[in-house]
Amino acid sequence: MIKVDGEIKLSCRNVWKVYGEHPGQFFAGGEGALPDPAAHAAAIRETGHIVAASNVSFDVHVGEIFVIMGLSGSGKSTVVRCLSRLVEPTAGHVLLDGEDLLAVSERELIDIRRHKMGMVFQSFGLLPHLNVIDNVAFPLKLQGDGEAERRERAQKMVDLVGLSGREAAFPRELSGGQQQRVGIARSLAVEPELWFLDEPFSALDPLIRRQMQDEFLKLQQMLHKSIVFITHDFLEALRIADRMAIMRDGVIVQIGTPTELVLNPVDDYVSEFTSEVPRARVLAARDVLDPAATPGADRPTVSGKAKLEEILPQLAGHEDGLAVTGADDAVIGVVTPKSVIAALAMGG
């Protein structure tokens, strides 16, 4: 996990996507910043137009996994396509390293996609007539790289996603999880700075899906990409997100860390998403410090980021609690069985 106060890689500012005849008529000069976005969206809908994304704004920091989630039809996939201009936004701005992607030419956009963006979608989209190594190398071929160079880089990506030995296999000979690994390797072959993943694991069986989540997190620890990840599964978001946004009817309802969303939902819609989440999975040691306990040198230490489900076995053997450390390894407090029970009871 990263600090979210770092350098901004991608900035989505007042982005709208409206479908229908002449949607641009509702936005002067393509500007999406409006005094009353909700009223504006309602007025647009009254004309028979569909508002798929309404005044969407957020930042993605360098090295951050930013998750956008919501139910089907909430607008999350529309937003990620607007970010890459696979779908043209009706209004607003999308800034990559400070450059407005909505203002660049088609040729410049193609170059940005080929060299700075990686994309993975729910459908694996592999080319059936190409084997694994050639599927992974395909975007490098489009870039004009030489055969030796692209095969060398493709091989590195194949090794990275754990498919060594399967280079000559065709998509029909691979399992669903293996096919998605090929898709991930292909998207990473161009060494993108920004990585878009739209429900990449939702078509997989639950066990394979969890394994792919683990592999994804391992990759991120090595690569430190700036990532926008789309999902409708809160537990998946919980596992991978640094921060997340919850969408409903094209609008972002709340942005925060998973812990913030579980502990402080802004409305009943967010509460519904988080109601089935075990608090021990969300709360970290730093969230449940015992104000009455004084740190002592004789206590074992745990990281403030450690989730309760990880430290409960250790806590069971130390009734006087565990010392909790912060980012600089300094002790910031004590977590005790009493403070944990109190925190968990609040969610009951």
Reference 51, options 17, 93, 87; nearest CA is 17
Whole-number percent of the chain with pLDDT over 70: 97
Say if strands 226-231 and 99-100 run parallel, antiparallel, or are unpaired.
unpaired
What length is written for the chain?
Answer: 348
pTM of the model: 0.85
Amino acid 329: pLDDT: 83
Examine the pLDDT at 48 and tell me if it is beyond 70: yes
Q: Which domains does the chain have, with CATH numbers?
A: 8-279 (3.40.50.300), 280-345 (3.10.580.10)
Examine the pLDDT at 1 and tell me if it is beyond 60: no
Amino acid 4: pLDDT: 44
Taking the CA atoms of residue 190, residue 195, residue 198 and residue 200 in that order, the dihedral angle to the nearest 10 degrees is 60
Return the HEC string of the chain: CCCCCCCEEEEEEEEEEEECCCHHHHCHHHCCCCCCHHHHHHHHHHCCCEEEEEEEEEEEECCCEEEEECCCCCCHHHHHHHHHCCCCCCEEEEEECCEEHHHCCHHHHHHHHHHHEEEEECCCCCCCCCCHHHHHHHHHHHHCCCHHHHHHHHHHHHHHCCCCCCCCCCHHHCCHHHHHHHHHHHHHCCCCCEEEEECCCCCCCHHHHHHHHHHHHHHHHHHCCEEEEEECCHHHHHHHCCEEEEEECCEEEEEECHHHHHHCCCCHHHHHHHCCCCHHHHCEHHHCCCCCCCCCCCCCEEECCCEHHHHHHHHHCCCCCEEEECCCCCEEEEECHHHHHHHHHCCC
Q: What is the pLDDT of residues 127-140, one digit of tens each?
A: 999 999 999 999 88
Amino acid 245: pLDDT: 97
Residue listed under structure tokens 């925060």: 256
Q: Are 255 and 58 in contact (CB under 8 A)?
A: yes
Say if strands 99-100 and 91-96 run parallel, antiparallel, or are unpaired.
antiparallel
pLDDT band per the 50, 70, 90 thresholds, residue 53: very high
Q: What is the pLDDT of residues 149-183, one digit of tens each?
A: 999 999 999 998 889 999 999 999 999 889 988 99
* 40-49 CB burial, b ≥16 within 10 A, e <16: bbeebeeeeb
Average pLDDT on 38-50 reads: 96
Q: What is the pLDDT of residues 78-123, one digit of tens each?
A: 999 999 999 999 999 999 999 999 999 999 999 998 889 988 887 7
Rounded to 5 degrees, what angle do the CA atoms 239, 197, 265 make?
Answer: 45
Examine the pLDDT at 264 and tell me if it is beyond 90: no
Query: Which tokens in the block code for residue 130?
Result: 């190409």
Q: How far, in Å, CA of 217 to CA of 338, rounded?
A: 32
Residue listed under structure tokens 């694991």: 201
Examine the pLDDT at 6 and tell me if it is beyond 80: no
* 180-210 CB burial, b ≥16 within 10 A, e <16: bbbbbbbbbbbebbbbbbbbbbebbeeebbe
Q: Are 200 and 122 in contact (CB under 8 A)?
A: yes
Q: How far, in Å, CA of 259 to CA of 311, rounded?
A: 17
Amino acid 336: pLDDT: 93
Q: What is the pLDDT of residues 180-217, one digit of tens each?
A: 889 999 988 888 899 999 988 887 788 888 888 888 89
Q: Are 244 and 238 in contact (CB under 8 A)?
A: no
Residue 76 CB-density burial (10 A; 0-12 exposed, 13-18 middle, 19+ buried) = buried
Rounded to 5 degrees, what angle do the CA atoms 152, 122, 276 make?
Answer: 125
